Copies of this chain bind each other. A is one copy, B any other.
């Protein structure tokens, strides 16, 4: 099934190109060149760049969900430690990449939403799905007395993921992990700590 393999190949290439060049900056030609497939094969597989970007985003979110499971499913850690483990895993990945690439969900949230309602709606669903395991983990940490119960787990999960995107944004400007480390240090000594 060469067609099917081209499809995956183009999605993987699209992920790399859109990370580098954003949604608007990624032309079909650049994507097929990166995938090393004929330009016409793009239109064989995808209705539009918008529909394609949706698949790229979903592909990326699958990857993120794998990292979420790896961290939040780590039974050797306490619930609060698992949250921090997630941020540490992301920090390692971003640092390995010299802090050039950030998070495609964040990139699309600021750029692609202006151009595509379809992408904007999908991003809304992704944030809702993304926060679910975090809210569950925060609820466990609250039950265990590791995190104050002042706020609802869902609110804290939204706060965590949004603020983290803000730290990544800053990282991309500075090309250092300083903003990530600062966020973890401050948030985990204030918002995500036990009641006194």
Q: Does A120 touch B at the CB level, under 8 Å?
A: yes
Which size bracket describes the interface of A in this complex?
35 or more
In the bound complex, CA of A191 to CA of B156 (Å): 13
Q: Does A167 touch B at the CB level, under 8 Å?
A: yes
A170: chain B residues within 8 A (beta carbon): 109, 127, 158, 162, 165
Verify B124–A174 contact, CB threshold 8 A. yes
List residues 79-125 of chain A with CB under 8 A from any CB of chain B.
100, 102, 106-107, 109-111, 113-115, 120, 123-124
Give A contacts to B, CB under 8 Å: 20-22, 24-25, 100, 102, 106-107, 109-111, 113-115, 120, 123-124, 127, 150-151, 155-156, 158-159, 162-167, 169-170, 172-175, 179, 182-183, 185-187, 189-191, 196
